[in-house]
Amino acid sequence: MGDRIVTWPNALSAARLLGVPVFLWLVLGPRTATSDLIAAGILGLAGITDWLDGKLARMLNQQSRLGALLDPAADRLYIAATVIALAVRGIMPWWLFGAIAGRELIVAVALLVLQRRTVYGALQVSFVGKTATLCLMYAFPLLFLGAHSGTTAEVVRVLGWAFAIWGIALYWWAAMLYLTQVRDLVRESGMEGAATS
């Protein structure tokens, strides 16, 4: 993993981060059908660029430490902003916000433990975690568009809930995998410390 900053994957992650305030303004500001459609498009684009930046990093051999931080940060920020905005608008129930926020809190505490007790700074991103993020990135724009009236909106809403339920289940499964990683790394670090003392 290199120290390069200016790479295509990093540019995509940075663009995703810049889209968060625009999305929030569109959802919480104008509240028109057009602004909702543009906001859903931004969410869809965020999901595509999330997949694309990882693909480009591997294809162009442009993995970097900055990219390893930017990509999950952009994912988490989008998920947090979307869940809060959709809950404020009444499109998504607050229990779903609680399920996602609770998972993030548990993983954040685990990362703090990891940083304090070992030399490891980050966890290996799992396929389950990436799949969970992708499901949620599909769920949010579908739930958003499904909040309008009509038969099409109802079908879209059902699809959105299907992705949301799968996404939440996979999100918590990924959290359990991360907690297992933290436990193993802390235990391994403790054994190494005991062996050298």
Per-residue model confidence as pLDDT tens digits over 39-73: 989 988 888 888 888 888 888 888 888 888 888 88
Per-residue model confidence as pLDDT tens digits over 100-140: 999 989 998 988 888 888 876 667 778 899 899 889 888 99
Residue 122 has a pLDDT of: 67
Per-residue model confidence as pLDDT tens digits over 4-33: 888 999 999 999 999 999 999 999 998 888
How far is 43 from 142, CA to CA, in rounded Å?
10
How far is 156 from 145, CA to CA, in rounded Å?
7
State yes or no: pLDDT of 193 exceeds 70: no
Residue 3: how many other CB atoms lie within 10 Å: 7
Q: How confident is the model at residue 36 (pLDDT cuts 50, 70, 90)?
A: confident
Residue 105 has a pLDDT of: 93
How far is 99 from 74, CA to CA, in rounded Å?
19
State yes or no: pLDDT of 1 exceeds 60: no
At 41, the amino acid letter reads G
- Looking at the DSSP bridge assignments, the partners of residue 90 are none
CA dihedral 21, 172, 174, 82 (to 10 degrees): -10
State yes or no: pLDDT of 74 exceeds 90: no
| The Cα angle at residue 150 between residues 29 and 79, in degrees rounded to 5 | 45
How far is 26 from 33, CA to CA, in rounded Å?
10
Please name each of the domains of the chain with its CATH number: 8-189 (1.20.120)
What pTM was computed for the model?
0.79
How far is 39 from 187, CA to CA, in rounded Å?
45
Mean pLDDT of the chain: 88
Per-residue model confidence as pLDDT tens digits over 90-99: 988 989 989 9
Residue 156 has a pLDDT of: 94
* Residue 26, C-beta contacts closer than 8 angstroms, at least 6 positions apart: 35, 36, 38, 39, 42
Residue 130 has a pLDDT of: 85
Q: How far is CA 83 from CA 14, 33, 76, in A?
A: 20, 19, 10
Residue 155 has a pLDDT of: 96
* Residue 66, C-beta contacts closer than 8 angstroms, at least 6 positions apart: 3, 4, 5, 10
From 186, 191, 190, select the one nearest 115 (Cα to Cα). 186
DSSP letter, residue 89: T
